[in-house]
Structure 1
Amino acid sequence: MKITIVSGSQRANSQTLNVANYLATLAKPHFEHVNVLDLHQLELPFWNEGVWQGSEEWKQWEPIAHVLKQSDAFIFITPEWHGMATPALKNFLMLTTDEELAHKAALLVSVSASVNGVYPISELRMTGNKNNHVCFLPDHLIFRNCEAILTAEHKCNDQHQHDRSEYTLQLLAAYAKALAPVHRDMVNTGKPFRYGM
């Protein structure tokens, strides 16, 4: 199986990317291929109708869409900025379609420098899968006090957080296996209803 981990921070060398690399190490026993996308590095333009026509500025999206289509599961990670998910991650989810994400398992993760982190999860649950039909796990992860619990070498020194993260990655892999036939069988069937009611 393949997994794509999306680091949703727009900052260079962010704690969000640190979390992404940490979770990538935990994913390796469950997924043969682990891909980390850093939205800071990708610098995607903000969504516009040109993405539908394949205009020149959106040529860079094509290889990303291909990676997503090949993936069986996803982890979407956002820092909490002013109680919200980042514009970069919300933009990324607007660009995705049912072809890439529909009926595939996804884990939501937030990163906080303090004791917060709940609001971005709630925000993404409300609208993050509206048109792409990705299936968010009922569980999520929040990395609170991230600078204290994660090292620069992508290690977690909080044993409870580490144990919970390992369990959640195992859960994500189980969902990915179970949902594979749903994606295979239902993407084309659902085309008439891809934008809701």
Structure 2
Amino acid sequence: MKIGIIVASQQKESQSAKVGAFLASKLKEMSVETWTLDLGKNPLPFYDSTQTESNSVWQGVWKPIDSELKSAEGFVVVTPEYGGMASPAIKNFFLHAGLVQLGHKPALLASVSAARGGAFPIHELRASSYKNTKICYIPEHLIFREVEHLVNGGEPVSQEDSYIRERSVFALKILIAYANSLSEIRESGVVYDARFRNGMS
């Protein structure tokens, strides 16, 4: 099994990337292969409708990512909270990636906040990013509040650090269970009909 980790900070060095690396390490401990797309280190061009498989954006930037997304059986989406919102980078990602890459695959949402926030990006992505991608967010999510003091390597330094580490393992186990189950649903063929590619509005 392979899980793709999408790190949605727009900074080259970020707390979101730290969280993504931590979650990847926990998945590897469960014998799960991981692949990470860090949108701070590898920003995507802003999406526009002229980006097709025949142009340079597809060949040079998106094609390698497309291949990795298609081969993943589930995802972890890590986004910072910017002004009470998910990052522009992750919204742009969901315009590039769609049904073919993400459809009917489970995803765990993880939000990162420098302070005590972090809930709004979870609500925003659950509300707006699934319609045409048909990504399946699992009921669990993670919020890394005051993230500078969390998952920094070594032993936990606080009760909250211990809590989020343990909850992360719990949530990742659920993600893996969903990934195993949803693969059977995709293979059944019932989820694909060209007439109904997009969700209803």
Please say whether Structure 1 and Structure 2 have the same fold, judged by a TM-score greater than 0.5.
Answer: yes
Structure 2: unaligned runs, 5 residues or longer: none
CA gap 1:144/1:183 in 2 versus in 1, 3 angstroms: same
Q: What fraction of aligned residue pairs are identical, expressed as a percent?
A: 39
Structure 2: which amino acid aligns with 1:47? Y
Q: Secondary structure at the match of 1:28?
A: helix
CA distance in 2, matches of 1:155, 1:55: 48
The residue aligned with 1:162 is 165
Which of 185, 189, 192 aligns to 2:188? It is 185
CA distance in 1, matches of 2:194, 2:155: 42
Query: Per the alignment, do residues 107 and 89 of structure 1 end up closer, same or farther by CA in structure 2, a change over 3 Å counting?
Result: same
Question: Aligned AA for 2:102?
Answer: L
Q: How many residues align?
A: 196
Secondary structure at 1:108's aligned position in 2? strand
Distance in 2 between residues matched to 1:107 and 1:155, nearest whole Å: 24
Alpha-carbon distance in 2 for matches of 1:63, 1:175: 25
What CA distance in whole angstroms lies between the structure 1 residues aligned with 2:127 and 2:32? 31
Contact 1:5 1:76 in 2 (8 A): yes
Shift of 1:154: 8.1
1:50·1:58 contact (CA, 8 Å) conserved in 2?
Answer: no
Q: Taking structure 1 as reference, are residues 88 and 187 closer, same or farther at Cα in structure 2, changes over 3 Å only? A: farther
- Partners of 2:13 and 2:62 in 1: CA distance: 22
Distance in 2, matches of 1:123 and 1:173, equals 24
Aligned runs of 1:1-197 on 2, under 5 Å?
1-59=1-59, 60-151=61-152, 153=153, 157=157, 158-186=161-189, 189-197=192-200
C-alpha deviations, 1:146-189, integer Å up to 9, x for none? 001232x4875411111101100111000000100112234772
C-alpha separation in 2, matches of 1:147 and 1:29 = 23
TM-score for the superposition, normalised by structure 1:
0.93
1:95/1:155 Cα in 2 relative to 1: closer, same or farther (>3 Å)? Answer: farther
Name the Cα RMSD after superposition.
Answer: 1.7
Query: Which runs of structure 1 show a deviation greater than 6 angstroms over 4 or more consecutive aligned residues?
Result: none
> What is the distance in 2 between the residues matched to 1:140 and 1:116?
14
Cα offset, 1:42, TM superposition: 1.3
Higher relative contact order (CA 8 A, sep 6+): 1
Q: Is the 8 A contact 2:185 2:191 kept in 1?
A: no
Q: Is the 8 A contact 1:97 1:131 kept in 2?
A: yes
TM-score, normalisation: structure 2 = 0.91
Structure 1 unaligned regions, length at least 5 = none
Q: State the alpha-carbon separation in 2 of the partners of residues 45 and 85 from structure 1.
A: 18
Residue 92 of structure 2 aligns with an amino acid whose one-letter code is N
Counterpart CA distance in 1 for 2:49 and 2:146 is: 39
